[in-house]
C-alpha cells in the first residue's frame, strides 16, 4: 500500500522554479532512495514533503492530502525529517535534543530515549554535552535519533553520510536498514553515495533539474548500463 505519493509536486524559491512536477511513491515499509547531481532538487523534494517550503501539486500521506499543511502538523501525522546538514540544536544538550524530538508526544518517552542510547552508545556518553560540541558523525546520529523520537511512520533522511568517515557511514546505514527491516519504518533517503544507497534501497528515483528522469527497482537501475555511465560514475 502506498504510504507517500506525490503527483506533479512543484516548488520554487522566489522566481526560480526548482521542482517541475515530481512523482514519487513510497510504499509502507519500503526504503526508497533519491539520487541526483548537486542542485537537482533532492533537498527541495524532501522539504516539499515535510512542509518546510511552499509547494503545489499533490502530496498524499497515508491517504490524506498534506500539500497545504504546515510543517508542524505534518510531523504529527508521522513524517519525520532529518534535514541536510543535520540541524541539531547546538545550544541544547544531547538529551534535550532528543526530548524536543518527542515534542509532539504526550506519552512517556523515557523508554525511547533509552532505546536510541542503546542504538547509539556514543550519544549516551555525551548526553549532557551541548550538541554543538559533538563531532559531525555524532551530530548526524543525534539528528536521526531525534527524528525517531517522534515515532514516525516515514523518515525523510537527507544525505546522512555527508562529511562522515566511510566506517561511520556504514554504521549509519546498518542502523537505517535495521529500522526498515525490523521495525517496518518507511524511509525516503537522499544519498550521494549511489553504490551504498543501491545496496539498502528497494526502489530508486533519479532526479535531474527538478524532474524524475528515471526510476525503478534498485537492481534494474544498478543494472542499466547507460544510467550507470551517466549518473552513477561507471
Partner 1 sequence: MLKIKEGSLQHWAIRIVGFALLALLVIYIPTQSETARIGQFASAFTLIIAAMSLNMVLGFTGQISLGHSAFFGIGGYTAAILIRDHGWSPGYTFYAAAVIAFVVGCLIGLPVLRIRGAYLALVTLAVAVLFPTLLRWKKLEWLTDGAKGIDSVKYDDLPVWPILGELKGRDGRAVFSYWLGLLVLVIVYLVCRGLIRSRVGRSLIAIRDNETAAAVMGVNVTRTKVLIFGISASMCALAGVLATLNSGVVTPDGQFVTLLGSIIFLLIMVVGGAGTLSGPIIGGLVYVWLDNTTRGIGTDSSGVLGFVFGWTDQSPATLILGLALIVIMLFAPTGLMGLLRKLTRRIMTIIPRDISPTQ
Ligand X SMILES: Nc1ncnc2c1ncn2[C@@H]1O[C@H](COP(=O)(O)OP(=O)(O)OP(=O)(O)O)[C@@H](O)[C@H]1O
Residues that bind partner 1 (CB under 8 A): 50-52, 70-72, 75-76, 80-81, 83, 87-92, 95-96, 99-101, 103-104, 110-111, 113-114, 117, 124, 127-128, 146, 150
Site string for ligand X, 71-100 (x = CB under 6 A): -------------x----------------
Helix 94-101 and helix 136-148, axial crossing angle in degrees, nearest 10? 30
* Residue 23 CB contacts under 8 Å (≥ 6 apart), including other chains: 6, 7, 8, 9, 212
For Mg ion, which stretch binds (CB under 5 A), given 11-19, 83-91, 111-119, 164-172?
A: 83-91
HSE at residue 170, side-chain half, CA atoms within 13 A, is 3
Residue 21 contacts residue 9 (beta carbons within 8 Å): yes
- Determine if 42 is a binding residue for ligand X (CB under 6 A): yes
Under the binding rule (CB under 6 A), the answer on residue 36 touching ligand X is yes
Query: Which of 103, 7, 102 minimizes the C-alpha distance to 48?
Result: 7
Pairing of strands 211-217, 203-208: antiparallel
* Closer residue to ligand X in complex, CB, 43/139: 43
Q: How far is the CB of 112 from ligand X (least distance, A)?
A: 29
Residues within the interface to ligand X (CB under 6 A): 13, 16, 18, 36, 38-44, 84
Amino acid at each position: 500500500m502506498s504510504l507517500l505519493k506525490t503527483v506533479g509536486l512543484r516548488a520554487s524559491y522566489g522566481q526560480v522554479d526548482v521542482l517541475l512536477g515530481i512523482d514519487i511513491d513510497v510504499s509502507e515499509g519500503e526504503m526508497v532512495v533519491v539520487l541526483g547531481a548537486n542542485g537537482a532538487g533532492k533537498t527541495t523534494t524532501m522539504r516539499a514533503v515535510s512542509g518546510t517550503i511552499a509547494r503545489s501539486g499533490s502530496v498524499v500521506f497515508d491517504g490524506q492530502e498534506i500539500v497545504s499543511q504546515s510543517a508542524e502538523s505534518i510531523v504529527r501525522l508521522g513524517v519525520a525529517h532529518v534535514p541536510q546538514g543535520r540541524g541539531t540544536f547546538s545550544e541544547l544538550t544531547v538529551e534535550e535534543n532528543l526530548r524536543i524530538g518527542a515534542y509532539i508526544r504526550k506519552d512517556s518517552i523515557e523508554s525511547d530515549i533509552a532505546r536510541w542510547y542503546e542504538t547509539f552508545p556514543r550519544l549516551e556518553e555525551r548526553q549532557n554535552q551541548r550538541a554543538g560540541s559533538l563531532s559531525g558523525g555524532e551530530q548526524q546520529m543525534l539528528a536521526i535519533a531525534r527524528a525517531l523520537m517522534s515515532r514516525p511512520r516515514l523518515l525523510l533522511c537527507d544525505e546522512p553520510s555527508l562529511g562522515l568517515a566511510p566506517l561511520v557511514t556504514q554504521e549509519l546505514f546498518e542502523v537505517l536498514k535495521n529500522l526498515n527491516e525490523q521495525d517496518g519504518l518507511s524511509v525516503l533517503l537522499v544519498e550521494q553515495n549511489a553504490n551504498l544507497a543501491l545496496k539498502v534501497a528497494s526502489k530508486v528515483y533519479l532526479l535531474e533539474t527538478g524532474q524524475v528522469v528515471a526510476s525503478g527497482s534498485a537492481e534494474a537501475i544498478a543494472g542499466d548500463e547507460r544510467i550507470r555511465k551517466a549518473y552513477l560514475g561507471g
